[in-house]
Amino acid sequence: MHTLIHSFFELTITGLVLGSVYALVALGYTLVYGVLQLINFAHSEVFMFGTFAFAWVLVAFGASPQTGAWALIGMVIVGALAAAAMSAGVALVLERVAYRPLIKNKAPKLVALISAIGASFALSELMGLRDKIANAVGLGDALAPYVANARDIYALQLPNPRPLFTIGDYQVTNIDLLILAAALVMMLALDVFVRRTRIGRSMRAVAQDPETAALMGVNSTRVIQWTFVIGGIMAGVAATLYMVKYGVTRQNSGFLLGVKAFTAAVMGGIGNLRGALLGGLILGVAENWGSALIGSQWKDVVAFVLLIVILLFRPSGLLGESLGKARA
Tens of pLDDT, residues 271-291: 788 888 899 999 999 998 988
Mean pLDDT of the chain: 88
Q: pLDDT confidence of 52, banded at 50, 70, 90?
A: very high
Residue predicted with more confidence, 136 or 310: 136
What's the topology of domain 1-313? ABC transporter involved in vitamin B12 uptake, BtuC (1.10.3470)
> What is the model's pLDDT at position 321?
57
Q: What contacts 69, CB < 8 A, 6 or more positions away?
A: 159
Distance (Å, whole) CA 13 – CA 198: 37
User: Could you report the per-residue pLDDT of 213-248, keeping only the tens digit for each?
Assistant: 888 888 888 999 999 999 999 999 999 999 999 999
328 falls in which pLDDT band (50, 70, 90)?
very low
- Measure the CA–CA gap between 154 and 152, rounded to whole angstroms: 6
**Residue 180: pLDDT over 90:** yes
- Mean pLDDT score, 152-175: 90
Q: What is the pLDDT of residue 323?
A: 41
How much is the average pLDDT of 60-74? 91
- Residue range 143-155: average pLDDT? 91
CA dist., res. 152 & res. 195, Å (int): 42
Q: Pseudo-torsion of CA 119, 121, 124, 128, nearest 10°?
A: -130
The answer to whether residue 206 scores a pLDDT higher than 90 is no
pLDDT on residue 322: 45
pLDDT, tens digit, 9 for 90 and up, residues 81-102: 999 999 999 999 999 999 889 9
Contacts for 18 with CB less than 8 Å, ≥ 6 apart: 245, 284, 287, 288
Task: Return the pLDDT at 326.
Answer: 44
The model's confidence at residue 38, banded by pLDDT at 50, 70 and 90, is confident
